[in-house]
Amino acid sequence: MALTITLYSFAKRKNSTKRPDGLTGEDIQVVLKHPTSYVSPAFLLQRAGGFPFNYVVWNGWYYFITDIISTGHERFEVRCTLDSLATYKESILATNAFVLYDTTPNSEVVDKRLSLQTSASTRTATATLSIFEVGSVILLGIVGKNTAGIYALTPAEIAGLYSSLGQYFADLMPDTDEPSWDPDPDDLSTILQNVGEAIVNAGDAAVKCLRQLVSSGKASDCIKSALLIPVSPSDFAGSSSKIYLGEYDTGVSGKLISQTARAFATTSVSIPWPTSDWRRNAPYTHVYLSLPYLGIVQIPSSEIMDTGSLTVNASVSVNGTVVYTVAKGSTLAEVGRYTANCANNYMIGASNISPLSQVQALGGAVGGAAAAIAAPAAVGVTAGIAGLMGTMNAVQPIPSCVGGGGGIAHTSSGVVVCYTVFHDTNVSPDSVAAVVGTPAMASKSLAQLTGYVQTLAASVSIDGEESVRNEINMLLDGGIFIE
């Protein structure tokens, strides 16, 4: 029984749904070789001029030509195998399947098939927290005549306070001339007697000075704490108030603030993303934030890859504690909270020297004076006062003396730095889309897709043999081209 088939010569891939639509084929009369299979048929035909074909369409079925056997006298045996993807193209496109990869642009799902490069690139962006840009404030905890509180003072106001304290101690000291005299160092009893008489006969002013130095009641002892913080006094809320050290009026005014006062600043820093796709995620991109007085912290890139900036809020308390909160963009979605310290001890008054240490220093200085001098009572007054003056100079800091080793050693002021470290893939993700697709990981209608498609556990419904159905499902799970 003669049959008609159409012969074509065109290029296509094995795993493609492409058909020879639009091409001109050659119709030819053939007979089926007996026995034969409809899935892998063999056609017998006669044609002059050879056989330059590689594809057959018969009765709506599509076949690859797998072998051509010449039997002589321009006769040929053409062996074929079913092109299942082209034959059941409509059934395939009518299928909904879980698609692993397709050519749809993908910016979200990581493509783990690509390799990570060892080399890295870095990008940076900066911003400024204004409270760390202005200058320094000295916060003094003071017990005064009318109040006990914390004062925020500028360095100039601190200089005025030093001057006032210097005058306070000068007022306690009598003006005396120190006569010259040569004691007998072997007469120990005379030395001790003269030192005692010197203290007793020093007068009311000297006794008052001694009492102030060896107790916690002197004016400088009313300064209970002193911290140097690199912000401006204007950043702390408060009101101007005259400073009293106990009952002593220093004549200096400062801003009186509450213990719960906070200096606050906010800024926004751009995230210098190296890409706009899923490579923003780890391990391809790591995001770091350098914060003043804290150091470098890592921000999980997976939490912020959908935003272009970070909002950094800084709150500084009166003890120098800095609390940072980091949020995505301008939202309230926090991605980090960190604590640092920006304060240094500031040496003034008794804020960093205990009364006990002053007494011990006083004893050592007086002892040194007693060992070095011996004088008649009339002359011992001057010697005793000289020894006490030397003690005061030893325990009172000079205005430029600031405690070291604290948070204020930080030198980059209020600069916030955001930087990214990027390890790119060995090839650009979109460069492989046409060949192996990009991650989809979603259930899709195959009719909406073109190009490379790979499924998971595909199950196509066809009105064909079981072997053909299994072949189509296997090809889909291995990746096909919808063309």
CA 89 – CA 94 distance, rounded (Å): 9
Please check whether residue 452 lies inside any domain of the structure: yes
CA 71 – CA 50 distance, rounded (Å): 12
State whether 78 and 105 are in the same domain.
no
Please check whether residue 444 lies inside any domain of the structure: yes
Please check whether residue 265 lies inside any domain of the structure: no
Provide the pLDDT for residue 234.
84
State whether 76 and 16 are in the same domain.
yes
Cβ contact 348:398 at 8 Å? no
Q: Is 93 helix (H, G, I), strand (E, B) or coil?
A: helix
Residue with tokens 């082209």: 86
Q: Is 401 helix (H, G, I), strand (E, B) or coil?
A: coil
State whether 471 and 438 are in the same domain.
yes
State whether 82 and 95 are in the same domain.
no
Whether a cis peptide bond, with omega within 30° of 0, leads into 35 is yes
Provide the pLDDT for residue 247.
82
By residue range, what is the domain housing residue 107?
A: 91-114+427-482
Provide the pLDDT for residue 20.
96
Give Rg (Cα) of the chain: 46
Provide the pLDDT for residue 387.
33
For the stretch 357-415, pLDDT in tens is 333 333 333 333 333 333 333 333 333 323 323 333 332 322 323 333 345 555 567 89
State whether 16 and 43 are in the same domain.
yes
Please check whether residue 161 lies inside any domain of the structure: no
Tokens found for residue 38: 């409809």
Please check whether residue 455 lies inside any domain of the structure: yes
State whether 108 and 65 are in the same domain.
no
Please check whether residue 391 lies inside any domain of the structure: no
State whether 40 and 107 are in the same domain.
no
Domain count of the chain?
2
State whether 471 and 433 are in the same domain.
yes
Please check whether residue 16 lies inside any domain of the structure: yes
Provide the pLDDT for residue 383.
35
Residue with tokens 């056609």: 43
CA 46 – CA 75 distance, rounded (Å): 4
Q: What is the largest CA-CA distance in the chain?
A: 152
The stretches in the chain having pLDDT less than 50 are 180-181, 185, 188, 191-192, 195, 199, 205-217, 353-406
The CATH number given to whatever domain includes residue 13 is 2.40.10.370
Please check whether residue 421 lies inside any domain of the structure: no
State whether 59 and 108 are in the same domain.
no
* CB neighbourhood size of 298 (10 A): 12
Q: Is 50 left (phi over 0), alpha (psi -120 to 50) or beta?
A: left
Provide the pLDDT for residue 413.
76
CA 336 – CA 26 distance, rounded (Å): 72
CA 390 – CA 384 distance, rounded (Å): 10
State whether 8 and 78 are in the same domain.
yes
Q: Is 131 helix (H, G, I), strand (E, B) or coil?
A: helix
Provide the pLDDT for residue 409.
56
Q: Whole-model pTM?
A: 0.69
State whether 81 and 98 are in the same domain.
no
Provide the pLDDT for residue 161.
80
As beta bridge partners, residue 31 has: 44
Which of 69, 86, 103 is the last residue in one of the domains? 86
State whether 95 and 62 are in the same domain.
no
CA 101 – CA 478 distance, rounded (Å): 11
